Amino acid sequence: MKGPGGVLSFSVPLPVKAGLVSWHVEHFGLMGGSSLPDSFTLDWTLLAVVIAVAVIAGALLFSYLYRAYLRWLAWWRQRAGRIGEQQAAKLLKREGYAVIKAQPPARMVMRVDGAPVNIHVRADYLVQRGGKTYVAEVKTGERAPRPTNGDTRRQLLEYSLIYRADGVLLVDMAAQKIHRVEFEFSQ
């Protein structure tokens, strides 16, 4: 029904006049007195604005909390990676590898449409054993330590080409195992 000024509104009967609702009316001076009216009128336009504001506020809160969760997740993964790398050095030494350098930088030049682009990479370790030098990559988690995982495989191939070491090692911290990875190319 149309209320004052042509605004769409309706009336809702209020049968409860005691208890908590009555207490709020009396203590906070709601509706101008200590007794409840028999009904109240709701303005649909105001209701729509209140709902829209609530939805926007909820979306902003969700967005903030989701971004905070993603930051926490990234921090947690980095922390797990650092701990895994520290434990990997011990595992490599236990298996007879001598750690030459942690986080050894390497560089290559890639040409894109003839223009040189410098690519910088940093493996986890450069190690030696039996007179041979290996580049070692440490992986934690469930999927990443698998040499057949696409991202891991590409990373190991890149290290193999850039570092030109005698071999590539994949250190699986979940299984406490070192995999020697070799690449063969068919014609």
Residue 172 falls within a domain, yes or no? yes
The pTM is what?
0.58
Residue 14 falls within a domain, yes or no? no
Cβ(181)–Cβ(155) below 8 Å: no
Helix (H, G, I), strand (E, B) or coil at 180: strand
Cβ(40)–Cβ(10) below 8 Å: no
**Residue ranges in the chain whose pLDDT is less than 70:** 1-42, 143-144
CATH code of 91's domain: 3.90.320.10
Domain count, the chain: 1
- Tell me the C-alpha to C-alpha distance, in Å, between residue 7 and each of 3, 37, 42, 54: 5, 21, 10, 22
Residue 156 falls within a domain, yes or no? yes
Residue 140 falls within a domain, yes or no? yes
Residue 175 falls within a domain, yes or no? yes
- pLDDT for 10 equals 52
Greatest CA span in the chain, whole angstroms?
Answer: 94
